Amino acid sequence: METLVLTWVLLLMFSFAASDTNSTSETYTLIKATNFARPNCQSKCGDLVVPYPFGIGINSGCSIGPGFDVYCNTSSDPPRASLESISYASIKQISDSTLRISNTVSTRCYFPDGNIQSAVNFSPYFNNTPYTISEVNKLTVIGCNEYAWVTSKMKPTGCLVICYEQEDDIGDDCSGNACCQSSIPEPINYYVTQFYALQESNFSNNGSQTLNPCTYAFVGDVEAFKFNGTTDLKDTSLDKKIEANVPIVLDWAIGDLSCSEAEAINGTACQSNSMCVNSKRETGGYRCKCNEGYEGNPYLSPGCQDIDECKDKLQFPCHGTCVNIPGNYTCKCKQGYSGDAKIKDGCSRKIPILQLTLGLGLGFPAILIGLWVLYFTAKKRKLVKLREKFFEKNGGVLLQDKLKTKGGVGIGSMRIFQVEELEAATENFAENRILGKGGNGIVYKGTLPDKSVVAIKKSQRLDEGQRVQFINELVILTQINHQNIVQLLGCCLETDIPLLVYEFISNDTLNRHIHNQTSGLERLSWNNRLRIAHESASALAYLHTDTRMSIIHRDVKSTNILLDDNYTTKIADFGASRLVPLGHDQVTTLVQGTLGYLDPEYFHTGQLTDKSDVYSFGVVLAELLTGKKPINIDRCLDDRNLATYFVNAMKENQLLEILEHQIVIEATDEQIKGTCDLACRCLNIASERRPSMKEVTMDLESLRKFGKHPWDCQDMKYNKMSSLMIEVEDVDLYTAPFITNSDTFGGYSSSSIGRSNRTL
Ligand SMILES: *[C@@H]1O[C@H](CO)[C@@H](O)[C@H](O)[C@H]1NC(C)=O
């Protein structure tokens, strides 16, 4: 009896599992019945079955309308079927909802010197046809260090392929390592393929001289494509191989009426035993579909016919007595046996009544327990499934793969956290755990079971395209290893919004140390300020030049410079940062940054360079020198911006008035002159005249060496200052637009301004 319950429970579980998988895979059926085509019409072109509403012959009257005319070229061997509107592609298969046609691969090939040798940018267009590009297709990119994406009416979707040093690292899974995939989030009727090389050429990358000079990108049926690692990567005729094997899946629909509209006009849209299905595409249209258990052509009389399941033991197994009924069949165990005859050995001899009652007495509670267990397992499974989905959506698989293949610095110490761990660490993301809110997300303070304190950042919502980018950036961020940059400890990808775990920096932000002295924080001495400036500069210089890819922070400001217990500087918040491939010195992006710190040139042109960080750093220097906030409405209009105010004061030789009093006392002449001059150069309106972060670091380092001479007399200082002459370049400073709403500039709150219509 117990085994019976167990089988039953297992059976139920199996059916749960089965329904799970069904919902994810594409379900389509080939039209099987004999009435494929209209009477007196050909039903096949070579091996291809052409069911009505498609018809062979242009204007032959065999199809439902012009978009469905199939041209069958019998002169080619084997005969080639194509649509009039899509003549370049041959039809591979027609199902009751889809059409599979031959593909064209977009390619970009490079000469060894990095110049483009040849390019194919396939951009199909199915406007005004019955066809849309199905969501079951995915964009697949194969190559090295290139970003490829497709744009359409939807948001761009794309992915990045990276090749690491060792060829053996390239696995067979298409997850970013030489091969990447990105979904097409909705049905579209055209797309444009584009490439963006991350490095000069495939050849110059990490000495991988033997790799393919081409990058390949295509939108196609993922089921038909299997990535073969290095073999595929090296194959210079890979495009031909893909074109021969991987079709592009089109959804088709009739006309532009919905089912109810078509029924209202024509009486019926579909023949008997079938149902009408509205198309998902924007322009409308419908399809017909045989009911469950029926087959045939739902568009042609007499419609769909009942399937005699008992005649097809292979598809409809029955190990007992089979009886066909309309739309279904029954299959019973032979007399004297019970169980499920649809499975092999599913029938067993009936249990006598006495044993049955006894069995039920014992078995019933067991069944209840079984059901109860089942209910909770199913519920848990659903949650686990959802998490797995998020994990996958957020690029977890890609990341895990990279963690596996790339055992480099930093990345080895990176952890993938479980959502439960982080929920427990933050008491379910409680309000009182919030450390700060910014343009890029909310930061919570968390305590891990080992009592270590971490900062957990809940990022902004990401769209599909950004997710892949997010992971690739994450991988690079994990490789950052600098004592003045907040260390990323790990991440959690099981939630809809990815979570990042950073080391916790205990001693507040530089912003508060400068501007919030009322809150009991000790005033930062000049030496500390100069050291913090030097440490921040060296961290930014490291990001700009020392990492595998140049990283532009994009949001340098005193709130993003944290201090630990020893007042060591830690640069934080890479939420907005941008990777710039080496060899490219600028990228066009959505303008992003914080008012008061934003590089005016970048704001005007949208061209992001590492010099934008230099400008923002200049504002931080001015803050350190003057103790004033980057934007202050109490100053007169032209001087509200600290950058303008500072440079103007220097021009008019009135620095003494704006520098923080205590600094004038503490610092040496050389230090004041040198630091002010440096800030002024960083704040130059023309980015190419600003120093690089490396130069800034070196300047600050030598300024730190100009320590205060012990014999300096404080009284002399004031006299000296009046004679302190600083050369100022005559520049027309840009004043950032002033926004009067409730933007705050203190503490953790930040205001980021963005301008749309400037995307990559
Ligand atoms: C039919 O196929 C043959 C052989 O491939 C080709 O030469 C011919 O141009 C095709 N005809 C049309 C109309 O496409």
The string of pLDDT tens digits covering residues 216-274 is 999 999 889 999 888 888 888 999 999 999 999 999 999 888 898 888 887 788 888 99
The DSSP letter of residue 448 is -
Is the CB of 73 within 6 Å of ligand 1? yes
**Residue written as tokens 């110049």?**
115
Please compute Rg for the chain using Cα positions.
Answer: 34
- C-alpha–C-alpha distance, residues 80 and 92, integer Å: 9
Kindly give the distance from the C-alpha atom of residue 88 to the centroid of ligand 1, in angstroms, as a whole number. 12
| pLDDT value of position 722 | 38
Summarize pLDDT for 163-174 with one digit per residue, the tens.
765 656 677 788
Strands 55-56 and 69-73: parallel
Kindly give the distance from the C-alpha atom of residue 74 to the centroid of ligand 1, in angstroms, as a whole number. 8
Is the CB of 756 within 6 Å of ligand 1? no
565 in active site: no
Nearest-CA residue for atom 5 of ligand 1 = 76
Summarize pLDDT for 545-587 with one digit per residue, the tens.
876 667 888 889 998 899 988 889 999 876 556 665 545 555 5
The three-class DSSP label of residue 353 is helix
The three-class DSSP label of residue 453 is strand
* SS3 of 399-435: HHHHHHHCCCCCHHHCEECCHHHHHHHCCCCCHHHEE
Task: Determine how many CB atoms are found less than 10 A away from the CB of residue 291.
Answer: 17
The DSSP letter of residue 21 is H
Dihedral of alpha carbons 362, 365, 371, 376, sign:
negative
Tell me the best of 76, 86, 87 to mutate to test the pocket of ligand 1, counting ligand atoms within 8 Å of each CB and taking the most. 76
The three-class DSSP label of residue 529 is helix
Answer yes or no: are the C-beta atoms of 675 and 724 closer than 8 Å: no
| pLDDT value of position 169 | 64
Summarize pLDDT for 732-746 with one digit per residue, the tens.
333 333 332 333 333
Q: Which residues lie below 8 Å from residue 588, measured CB to CB, with a gap of 6+?
A: 606, 607, 608, 758, 760
Kindly give the distance from the C-alpha atom of residue 524 to the centroid of ligand 1, in angstroms, as a whole number. 82
C-alpha distances in Å from residue 141, one per residue of 109, 132, 276, 298, 338:
13, 21, 37, 39, 54
Of all atoms in ligand 1, which is nearest to the CA of residue 87? Answer: 14
**Residue written as tokens 């494509």?**
225
Nearest-CA residue for atom 11 of ligand 1 = 73
Is the CB of 75 within 6 Å of ligand 1? yes
Kindly give the distance from the C-alpha atom of residue 130 to the centroid of ligand 1, in angstroms, as a whole number. 25
Kindly give the distance from the C-alpha atom of residue 243 to the centroid of ligand 1, in angstroms, as a whole number. 19
Is the CB of 632 within 6 Å of ligand 1? no
The DSSP letter of residue 545 is I
In sequence order, what DSSP letters do the residues of 666-722 get, joined into one string?
Answer: HS-HHHHHHHHHHHHHHT-SSGGGSPPHHHHHHHHHHHHHSPPPTT--HHHHHHHHH
How would residue 539 be classed by pLDDT, with cut points 50, 70 and 90? very high
| pLDDT value of position 21 | 33
Nearest-CA residue for atom 4 of ligand 1 = 76
- Is pLDDT above 70 for 402? no
Answer yes or no: are the C-beta atoms of 115 and 202 closer than 8 Å: no
Answer yes or no: are the C-beta atoms of 557 and 516 closer than 8 Å: no
Q: Which residues lie below 8 Å from residue 634, measured CB to CB, with a gap of 6+?
A: none
Tell me the best of 69, 74, 75, 77 to mutate to test the pocket of ligand 1, counting ligand atoms within 8 Å of each CB and taking the most. 75
Is the CB of 15 within 6 Å of ligand 1? no
Q: Maximum CA pair distance of the chain?
A: 116
Of all atoms in ligand 1, which is nearest to the CA of residue 82? Answer: 14
Query: In the chain, helix, strand, coil percent, each to 5?
Result: 35, 25, 45
| pLDDT value of position 739 | 31
| pLDDT value of position 551 | 81
| pLDDT value of position 705 | 84
- Is pLDDT above 70 for 406? no
- Is pLDDT above 60 for 205? no
- C-alpha–C-alpha distance, residues 446 and 222, integer Å: 41
Tell me the best of 45, 73, 82, 102 to mutate to test the pocket of ligand 1, counting ligand atoms within 8 Å of each CB and taking the most. 73
Quote the pTM value: 0.46
Percentage of residues of the chain with pLDDT beyond 70? 73
Mean pLDDT of 293-321: 86
The three-class DSSP label of residue 294 is strand
Ranges 236-250, 386-400, 456-470: which has the least confidence: 386-400
Nearest-CA residue for atom 12 of ligand 1 = 73
Nearest-CA residue for atom 10 of ligand 1 = 73
Is the CB of 76 within 6 Å of ligand 1? yes
- C-alpha–C-alpha distance, residues 187 and 282, integer Å: 9
Q: Which residue, among 370, 275, 392, 536, has the nearest Cα to 2 in the 3D structure?
A: 370
* SS3 of 170-208: CCCCCCCECEEEEECCCCECECEEEEEECCCCCCCCCCC
Strands (E), 481-567: 488-492, 499-503, 550-552, 561-563
Q: Helices 610-626 and 669-682 meet at what angle, rounded to 10?
A: 140
C-alpha distances in Å from residue 4, one per residue of 32, 364, 376:
39, 12, 21
Ranges 202-206, 251-255, 539-543, 645-649: which has the least confidence: 202-206
| pLDDT value of position 489 | 83
Kindly give the distance from the C-alpha atom of residue 80 to the centroid of ligand 1, in angstroms, as a whole number. 9
- C-alpha–C-alpha distance, residues 444 and 591, integer Å: 27
Answer yes or no: are the C-beta atoms of 218 and 246 closer than 8 Å: yes
State phi, psi for 430 to the nearest 5 degrees.
-70, 150
CA angle 379, 383, 386 (to 5 degrees): 135
Mean pLDDT of 715-737: 37
| pLDDT value of position 418 | 83
Is the CB of 741 within 6 Å of ligand 1? no
- Catalytic, out of 401, 508, 555, 699: 555
Q: Which residues lie below 8 Å from residue 743, measured CB to CB, with a gap of 6+?
A: 595, 751
Kindly give the distance from the C-alpha atom of residue 70 to the centroid of ligand 1, in angstroms, as a whole number. 14
Kindly give the distance from the C-alpha atom of residue 73 to the centroid of ligand 1, in angstroms, as a whole number. 6
- C-alpha–C-alpha distance, residues 487 and 248, integer Å: 44
Residue of higher predicted confidence among 399 and 633: 633
- C-alpha–C-alpha distance, residues 446 and 454, integer Å: 5
Percentage of residues of the chain with pLDDT beyond 90? 20
Kindly give the distance from the C-alpha atom of residue 128 to the centroid of ligand 1, in angstroms, as a whole number. 26
- C-alpha–C-alpha distance, residues 618 and 604, integer Å: 19
Kind and range of the H or E element at 120?
strand 116-120
Summarize pLDDT for 590-638 with one digit per residue, the tens.
566 677 888 888 877 777 888 999 999 999 999 999 998 888 877 776 7
Q: How many helices (H) and strands (E) does the chain have?
A: 18, 39
CA angle 318, 321, 325 (to 5 degrees): 85
Q: Which residues lie below 8 Å from residue 719, measured CB to CB, with a gap of 6+?
A: none
- As a whole number, the mean pLDDT across the chain is 77
Kindly give the distance from the C-alpha atom of residue 96 to the centroid of ligand 1, in angstroms, as a whole number. 28
Q: Which of 210-224, 367-381, 535-549, 689-703 has the highest mean pLDDT?
A: 689-703
- Is pLDDT above 50 for 643? yes
Summarize pLDDT for 681-714 with one digit per residue, the tens.
999 989 899 999 999 999 999 998 876 444 443 4
